[in-house]
Each structure stands twice: as C-alpha cells, then as structure tokens.
Amino acid sequence: MANNDKAPADTRDALEVLESEAKEWEKVVLSLLPSSLSAEIILSKLYYEHTLIAHASVLQDAEIDRILKAFRLNAYAVLELKPGVPESDIKKVYRAKSLLIHPDKTKNERAPEAFDRLKKAQTELMDEKHRANLDEAIADARMLAMRDMKLTVDSPEIKTPEFEKKWTEKTTMVLIDNEQRRKRQLKAQMQEEGREQRKQEEEAEARKRKRQHEEDWEATRDVRIDSWRKFQKSKSGGSDDKKKKKKMKVLG
C-alpha cells in the first residue's frame, strides 16, 4: 500500500479501476465454477489473464501513438525498420504490428488512422521504385550529416547516438524537400495539361463554329438562290418598262 501512496494520482486511479474490474470478474467466475475447485488457483489464473489484457492494451496504445508521431514520409520510421532490410522482414514486422493495433483488437479511437499509415508504409516499401527513391534520399541525408559534423566513413562518431540524431534530422529535411519538389512538378504538369486542354477545347469550339456556319450557309442556299432570281427578274422588268416609255415618247 505504501507504494500506491507514492504513485501519481492518475496512476492510482488506473490501478483502482483495474482492481475493481478484477474483483467483479472474480465474483462472476466463482459463482459459475464448481465449489470443488481451488479458489486460490482460480483467482491466480484470473489475475494473470487480467494483467495480460491490461498490459496488451498499454502496448497497443503506445504503438498507435508511436506510429502517428513517426515521420510519415519515411516508411522505415513508421515500421521501425532500418534501410536495407529484406522484404521478408518488412512483411514480418508489418504483420506483427498490424495485428497489435488492428481496429478490431483495440478500443483506441486513433487505431484506424494508425493502421492506415502502417499499411501505406508497408505498401511503399514493397514498391521497388518508391523504396529506391527513399533509400537514395536517406543516403543523401547521411552524407549531409557527415559533412555537417566533418566526419568520414571511418570516423567512430558515425556509430554514436549524436550522429543518428543528426542523420534523422537530415533525412526529414531531404524528404520534405523532395516532396515539395514533387508537388511543384505535379502542379506545373497539371497547369501544362490544363493549358493544353484549353487549347484543344478552343480548337474544337472553332471547328464546331465553322461546321455550323457551313451548315447554315447550305441550309439557306435555296432561299438565297430564289432571292437572287427575284432580284434579277425585277431588275430586268424595270429596264423593259423604261425602254417602252422612252420609245413612246419619241413617237409622240
């Protein structure tokens, strides 16, 4: 009891909840089991199983939190793997972690998001092109870290936590830079495709107007011909009348 008094308030509350739940389960199970069984053995087994369940829940929450805090552009970090691992290790680690944090296995509300990130990381590492690009970025980051710390490949400092931290920072920087470059290229490509599409639409609209003009011209062909004939006829008739009037004037 003395140890519990020294525990933080939130820890004591959690322990009290667990103890309360365990006692309730003990009462239920004991009421269903034959009285001939040793109560001490039953209670020991219940306590052990309850402890395992509680411990599993803690592990699940911790792993979900770790995945969501991991740098999502680095699939190795999400899966807690080092570059260069074989595909068999990627599959093995993914299977273990996916079973641990599967939304059906935990009540943690963030489990679905963590599970999706885990699946995305596994998919990226199984893709040869994506993995090659990631490995290249991590290798570039390592060289940048060595340059900043003025180290060589033979320097013993490369194996220190300080270098690992620097390498991680540079990896994040390189991956962010690559992602921004990719987005800029994608934006430029989309703009170019948009301009090309607008050009094609304008050309199609021009062809449409031309066809419509030709169709309208052809549709009014007979009307225009008839109007021209009437005009010519009226013009011809007017000239004959003038000639007659002029002739009659001479005779008079």
Q: Which amino acid is residue 87, in one-letter code?
A: E
CA atoms of 178 and 139, how far apart (whole Å): 13
The predicted structure's pLDDT at residue 140: 95
Burial of 64 (0-12, 13-18, 19+ CB in 10 A): buried
The model carries a pTM of 0.59
Return the residue matching tokens 């309730």.
24
Q: Which two tokens stand for residue 191?
A: 């703009």
Say if CB 109 and CB 64 are below 8 A apart: no
The predicted structure's pLDDT at residue 178: 94
Kindly give the confidence (pLDDT) of every residue in the chain, 252 residues in length, as a single tens digit, with 9 standing for 90 and above: 444 444 444 445 555 665 666 666 566 555 555 554 555 555 555 555 556 566 778 889 999 999 999 999 999 999 999 999 999 999 999 999 999 999 998 999 999 999 999 999 999 999 999 999 999 999 999 999 999 999 998 999 999 999 999 999 999 999 999 999 999 998 888 888 777 788 788 888 888 888 887 777 777 777 777 777 777 777 666 555 555 555 555 444
CA distances from residue 143 to 82, 137, 148, 174 in whole angstroms, order as listed:
17, 10, 9, 11
CA atoms of 100 and 98, how far apart (whole Å): 5
* DSSP codes joined into one string, 115-179: HHHHHHHHHHHHSHHHHHHHHHHHHHHHHHHHHHTT--TT-GGGGSHHHHHHHHHHHHHHHHHHH
C-alpha 181, offset from chain centre? 17
Q: Which long-range contacts (CB under 8 A, 24 or more apart) does 144-152 make?
A: 144/170, 144/173, 144/174, 145/169, 145/170
Return the residue matching tokens 């225009």.
224
Say if CB 12 and CB 4 are below 8 A apart: yes
Q: Which two tokens stand for residue 19?
A: 């103890």
Of the candidates 129, 140, 143, 132, the residue with the CA atom closest to the CA atom of residue 175 = 140
108 φ/ψ angles, rounded to the nearest 5 degrees: -60, 125
Indicate the SS3 state at residue 73.
coil
Burial of 31 (0-12, 13-18, 19+ CB in 10 A): exposed
* DSSP codes joined into one string, 21-61: HHHHHHHHHHHHS-TTS-HHHHHHHHHHHHHHHHHHHHHHH
